[in-house]
């Protein structure tokens, strides 16, 4: 049995291409010879995909960058050929995949961005954000009823209606989060940061609640 | 770069394909031109091994020695084998590691059985391409777990093939269909094979096939439709015969024919011949079949809905639906697919061949012949470790794009521990013991007080969907070796031993196979001739019995030797000399059946 510990990231440093010795910096592939490069541990997701650190991300552009990077570093491109390239491509491709997954999701992106700036959301997701307390209480109660009883069409309809309401709330707050991200670009002040954290907490909470409701409805 | 093929290692049939210019093509059996190789292997008491059509034909005569769908056993332990399978096959008694078949005192693992099928396909490919084939892309059900994938790769290695990539079957099908699609679309693939069900949702953009989500059931397939039909047929015969082994085998084979017949027709009739004489006629309508098949087909719904949800899509977002696997020829299945995804499935490509064609394309991608295409696939099941109190602690989420790597830090909970043990499992359940155990990894550490050791462990799932674990001591910065004890897979030493054995025997194997195949054919034709001589003696011309008898003797003499060319020649000679006799038997059978009918009409 092992005990899990919080992770410690290493240092970022620039390097040379292992194949052509050109200066690479932090990039999944060499700009000169296109060989896949080992990313320094702790290389940030924005840099990995050639972006500057920003809460606002153009999703179409992000996908284009992801596909371009994947074409260069995916193991399918290096399965036959230099063994070094094949070996490096696996971990670098994994890093590119992880960067894309994190940045395309506004919640994951926000959390990651906070982490990069030495901030974090309260990790305890069980604490209900005050703005959601009433809604969460109602929905949890309905879910309890649904779980506790045999199939009841009225109750099911109620929970389904609640799901629609929670989903709409979720979308609404996601929109507000986007506005927050935009505002931060020109107004990087503590009140905006506080609002941003609040939206992120709410969204994280609502996502868990939606999953609970779906699970309840699937029974 | 020549000689990289794509292989669909199926539950019922297997195929091999290659990318030819810009399009994939199936490579047939050089002797018969057949494109499908039945995934059947027979182990004879003499040590001879039959593969394909010959093995499948042995299934009723030697059921215990003939493995018909080894794929269902890949990567399983003995405790995962069902009671029905325990009755059907003879297993070697083993308490741990992979399940093993007992073949005349020799314990044979599923990868070894699959390797026989792969060797035969390798031979087909080498004959068609005129060169050695040593590298291949193999397909696996998308929902295969780590152990099942490793078992498939082991089978490839045992057959002398370097497995360049394992590609998921529905993804391969999407590649084959994607060649003709618009470059910005969403594809759903519904793959109901002989023994497995997969569903995958993909996005195609700029030549990149990105799998968004996948789901399935590795214990659900077209075979289940045969089973319910067989039960229906068994209900029609006298109860005393229902448990009879031969009858059951006969009826299961008939059920498959009924299933196929009802794909084109509204009703079909079968005649079950009883051993004591007498025939039972059974008529099955498509409506009957739909009622029986309904619950099985319905089991594919939940994985489809879950995959859509995991992909974050609605039914209306799916622009292209692809149906793969022989079972999707069943009209009820097609209707079901249409209802699930809101549009009829594409069926231009042969559903038996589409996965192999996709594997051929992937072989082309890997060799740089298809530089415009790229495949981004996902891991089908979450991976995690067992933590205190039987808790499954998730490390990698299902539907993560592969390769995917996650680093976790560990320390020693006890003073002066010699090693840290990590139990890795795969599945979606909360309790570790409810998920499938993959392996125990042991990482040696220097003795220190509790909590002082600092290990960074990297869990990496590669582009084949296979996990590897590496570890680094953060205090010394040194890499640490990781000892792996697979739960149901072959250990490295066991695989090496099998490889050595197979390399020692590779050349001998080819010659031996040709000899034994010719010998089996010789025995079959002699037996058939003897029966006909007895049954239809009145149809023999003057001297004919003597001439056929002489040819039979020649075949038997050849079969007793080791010269397979001589056996083939003798076989052909016997076939030639008895041809007029065989034609007369056929003519008479036809006349009788016509007369029989006119009598009825009167």
CB-based contact B39:B119 (threshold 8 Å) = no
Please check whether residue A115 lies inside any domain of the structure: no
**Per-block average pLDDT, block size 10, for chain B (602 residues)?**
85 94 92 94 91 88 88 90 82 81 90 96 94 94 92 94 94 87 87 91 92 91 88 84 76 86 87 79 88 92 92 91 91 93 90 95 91 90 88 91 92 85 89 88 87 89 91 85 81 79 63 78 86 86 89 91 87 90 83 56 42
Could you tell me the end-to-end alpha-carbon distance of chain B, in angstroms, rounded to an integer? 71
When divided into structural domains, chain B yields a total of 4
Residue in this structure with the two tokens 């494109």, named with its chain if needed? B35
How is B375-430 classified by DSSP, letter by letter?
Answer: EE-B-SS-EEEEETTTEEEEEE-TTPBSSEEEEEEEE-SSTT-SEEEEEEEESS-S
Residue A68 lies in a domain: yes
Q: Is residue B310 part of a domain?
A: yes
Nearest alpha-carbon partner for B544 in B507, B596, B580: B580
Full residue range of the structural domain in which residue A67 is found = 12-104
3-state secondary structure chain A: CCEEECCCCCCCCCCECCCCCCECCCCCECCCCCCECCCCCCCCHHHHCCCCCCCCCCHHHHHHHHHHHHHHHCHHHCCCCCHHHHHHHHHHHHHHHHHHHHHHCHHHHHHHHHHHCCCCCCCCCCCCCHHHHHHHHHHHHHHHHHHHCCCCHHHHHHHHHHHHHHHHHHHHHHHHHHHHHHHHHHCCCHHHHHHHHHHHHHHHHHHHHHHHHHHHHHC
To which H or E segment does residue B311 belong? none
- pLDDT tens by residue, chain A, 219 residues: 344 433 333 333 457 888 888 888 888 988 888 889 888 877 899 999 999 888 888 999 999 999 999 999 999 999 887 888 888 999 999 999 999 999 999 889 988 988 888 777 765 455 677 777 778 888 888 888 777 777 677 888 888 888 888 888 888 888 888 888 888 888 888 888 888 888 888 888 888 888 888 877 776
ipTM of the complex: 0.84
Q: What is the CATH number of the domain that holds A37?
A: 1.10.287.110
User: Do A151 and A88 lie in a common domain?
Assistant: no
Nearest neighbour of A7 by CB, restricted to B1, B407, B462: B407
Tell me the residues of chain A between 109 and 148 that have a Cβ less than 8 Å away from chain B: none
The answer to whether residues A152 and A79 belong to one domain is: no
As for how many domains chain A has, the answer is 2
B211 Cα to chain A: minimum distance (Å): 12
Query: Is A63 among the domain residues?
Result: yes
Structural domain contains residue B77:
yes
Best of A1, A2, A41 to mutate (most B CBs within 10 Å, chain B) = A2
Same domain flag for B347 and B471:
no
**What's the rounded Cα separation, in Å, for the pair B556 and B567?**
8
- Whether A79 has its CB under 8 Å from any CB of chain B: the answer is yes
Pick the last residue of a domain from B324, B341, B376: B376
CB neighbour list of residue B63: distance below 8 Å, 6 or more residues apart: B88, B245, B249
Cβ distance A76 to B375 less than 8 Å, yes or no, reads: yes
Residue where a domain stops, chosen among A61, A89, A104: A104
Is A30 among the domain residues? yes
Q: Are residues B116 and B254 in the same domain?
A: no
pLDDT in tens, B367-424: 988 878 899 999 999 999 998 888 888 999 999 999 999 999 988 888 888 888 889 9
Assess whether A37 and A72 both reside in one domain: yes
Interface contact flag, A79 B366, Cβ < 8 Å: yes
pLDDT single digits (tens) B468-507: 888 888 888 888 878 788 888 888 788 778 777 766 565 6
B271 and B400 part of one domain: no
Q: Does A75 touch chain B (CB under 8 A)?
A: yes
Query: Model confidence over B123-137: pLDDT tens digits?
Result: 999 999 999 999 999
State the residue range of the domain holding B517. 506-601
Nearest-by-Cβ selection for B404 from A70, A77, A98: A98
Q: Do B409 and A7 touch (CB under 8 A)?
A: yes
Residue B205 lies in a domain: yes
In a domain, A183, yes or no: yes
Backbone φ and ψ for B371, nearest 5 degrees, come out as -65, -15
Yes or no: say if B186 and B177 are a contact pair by the CB < 8 Å rule.
Answer: no
Here the CATH number for the domain that contains residue B140 is 3.30.420.40
- Rounded Cα distance between B198 and B218, Å, is 8
From B376, B403, B421, give the residue that closes a domain.
B376
Question: Which are the catalytic amino acids of B?
Answer: 8, 71, 169, 191
- Whether residue A149 lies within 8 A of chain B, CB to CB, comes out as no
Residue owning tokens 């008694």 = B93
Quote the minimal CA–CA distance from B23 to chain A in Å.
19
Q: Where residue B291 sits, what CATH number does that domain have?
A: 3.90.640.10
Closest CA to B427 of B482, B388, B472, B386: B386
* Residue B350 falls inside a structural domain: yes
Question: Nearest 5°: phi and psi at B112?
Answer: -65, -40
Q: Looking at the domain assignment, is residue A120 inside a domain?
A: no
Look at residue B188 and tell me if it is in a domain.
yes
A101 interaction partners in chain B (CB closer than 8 Å): 400-401
Same domain, A16 and A100: yes
CB distance B208–A95 less than 8 Å? no
The distance of Cα B27 from the centroid of its chain, to the nearest Å, equals: 18
Same structural domain, B174 and B247: no
B519 φ/ψ angles, rounded to the nearest 5 degrees: -65, -45
For helices B544-560 and B506-535, give the axis angle rounded to 10 degrees.
160
Of the residues B283, B298, B313, the one at which a domain ends: B298
Between chain A and chain B, how many beta carbons pairs sit less than 8 Å apart? 96
Question: Between chains, do B409 and A75 touch, taking CB under 8 Å as contact?
Answer: no
CATH code, domain carrying B544: 1.20.1270.10
B169 and B263 co-located in one domain: no
**B501 found inside a domain:** no
Give the pTM. 0.81
Q: Select the residue of B362, B367, B460 nearest A91 (Cβ to Cβ).
A: B460
Q: Is residue A111 part of a domain?
A: no
Last residue of a domain, one of A104, A119, A146: A104
Considering the domain architecture, whether residues B104 and B16 belong to the same structural domain is answered as: yes
Is position B97 within any domain?
Answer: yes
């Amino acid at each position: 049995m092992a005990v899990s510990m919080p992770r410690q990231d290493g240092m970022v440093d620039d390097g040379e291409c292992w194949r052509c010795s050109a200066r690479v910096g932090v990039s999944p592939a060499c700009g000169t010879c296109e060989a896949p490069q080992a990313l320094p541990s702790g290389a940030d997701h924005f840099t990995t995909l050639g972006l500057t650190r920003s809460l606002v991300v153009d999703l179409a552009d992000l996908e284009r960058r992801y596909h371009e990077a994947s074409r260069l570093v995916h193991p399918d491109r290096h399965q036959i050929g230099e063994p070094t390239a094949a070996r490096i491509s696996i971990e670098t491709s994994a890093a590119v995949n992880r960067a894309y997954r994190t940045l395309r999701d506004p919640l994951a992106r926000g959390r990651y961005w906070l982490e990069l700036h030495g901030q974090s959301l309260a990790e305890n997701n069980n604490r209900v954000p005050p703005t959601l307390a009433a809604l969460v209480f109602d929905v949890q109660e309905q879910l309890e009823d649904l779980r506790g009883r045999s199939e009841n069409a009225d109750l099911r309809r109620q929970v389904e209606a609640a799901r629609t309401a929670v989903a709409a709330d979720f979308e609404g707050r996601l929109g507000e989060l986007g506005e927050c991200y935009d505002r931060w670009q020109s107004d990087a002040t503590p009140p905006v940061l506080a609002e941003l954290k609040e939206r992120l907490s709410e969204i994280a909470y609502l996502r868990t609640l939606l999953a609970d409701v779906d699970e309840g409805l699937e029974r | 770069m020549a000689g990289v093929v794509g292989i669909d290692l199926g539950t019922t049939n297997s195929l091999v394909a290659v990318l030819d210019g810009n399009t994939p093509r199936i490579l047939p059996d050089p002797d018969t031109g057949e494109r499908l190789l039945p995934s059947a292997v027979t182990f004879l008491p003499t040590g001879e091994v039959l593969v394909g059509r010959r093995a499948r034909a042995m299934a009723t005569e030697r059921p215990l020695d003939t493995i018909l769908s080894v794929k269902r056993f890949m990567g399983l332990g003995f405790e995962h084998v069902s009671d029905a399978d325990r009755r059907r096959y003879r297993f070697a008694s083993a308490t741990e590691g992979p399940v093993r078949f007992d073949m005349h005192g020799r314990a044979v693992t599923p990868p070894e059985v699959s390797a026989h099928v792969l060797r035969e396909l390798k031979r087909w490919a080498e004959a068609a391409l005129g060169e050695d084939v040593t590298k291949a892309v193999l397909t696996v059900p998308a929902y295969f777990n780590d152990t099942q994938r490793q078992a498939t790769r082991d089978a490839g290695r045992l057959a002398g093939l370097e497995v360049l990539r394992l590609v998921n079957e529905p993804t391969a099908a999407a590649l084959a269909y994607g060649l003709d699609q618009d470059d910005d679309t969403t594809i759903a693939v519904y793959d109901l094979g002989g023994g497995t069900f997969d569903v995958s949702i993909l996005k195609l953009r700029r030549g990149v096939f990105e799998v968004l989500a996948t789901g399935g059931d590795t214990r659900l397939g077209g075979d289940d439709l045969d089973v319910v039909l067989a039960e229906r047929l068994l209900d029609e015969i006298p109860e005393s015969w229902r448990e009879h082994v031969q009858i059951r085998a006969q009826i299961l084979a008939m059920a498959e024919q009924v299933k196929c017949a009802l794909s084109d027709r509204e009703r079909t009739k079968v005649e079950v011949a009883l051993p004591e004489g007498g025939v039972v006629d059974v008529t099955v309508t498509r409506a009957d079949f739909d009622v029986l098949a309904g619950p099985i087909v319905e089991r594919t719904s939940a994985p489809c809905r879950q995959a859509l949800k995991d992909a974050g899509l609605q039914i209306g977002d799916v622009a292209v639906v692809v149906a793969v696997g022989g079972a999707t020829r069943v009209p009820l299945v097609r209707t079901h697919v249409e209802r699930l995804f809101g549009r009829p499935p594409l069926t231009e490509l042969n559903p038996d061949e589409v996965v192999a064609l996709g594997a051929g394309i992937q072989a082309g991608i890997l060799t740089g012949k298809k530089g415009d295409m790229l495949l981004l696939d996902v891991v089908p099941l979450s991976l995690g470790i067992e933590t205190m109190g039987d808790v499954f602690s998730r490390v990698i989420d299902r539907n993560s794009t592969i390769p995917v790597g996650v680093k976790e830090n560990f320390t020693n909970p006890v003073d002066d521990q010699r090693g840290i043990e990590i139990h890795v499992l795969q599945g979606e359940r909360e309790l570790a013991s409810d998920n499938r155990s993959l392996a125990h990894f042991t990482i040696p550490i220097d003795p220190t007080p509790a909590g002082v050791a600092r290990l960074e462990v990297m869990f990496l799932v590669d582009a084949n969907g296979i996990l590897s674990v590496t570890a680094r001591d953060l205090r010394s910065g040194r890499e640490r070796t990781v000892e792996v004890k697979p739960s149901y897979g072959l250990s490295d030493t066991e695989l090496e031993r099998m490889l050595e054995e197979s390399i020692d025997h590779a050349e001998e194997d080819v010659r031996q196979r040709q000899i034994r195949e010719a010998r089996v054919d010789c025995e079959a034709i002699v037996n058939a001739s003897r029966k006909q001589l007895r049954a239809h003696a009145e149809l023999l011309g003057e001297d004919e019995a003597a001439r056929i008898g002489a040819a039979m003797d020649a075949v038997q003499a050849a079969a007793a030797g080791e010269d397979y060319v001589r056996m083939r020649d003798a076989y052909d000679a016997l076939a030639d000399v008895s041809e007029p006799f065989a034609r007369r038997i056929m003519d008479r059978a036809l006349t009788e059946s016509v007369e029989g009918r006119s009598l009825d009409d009167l």
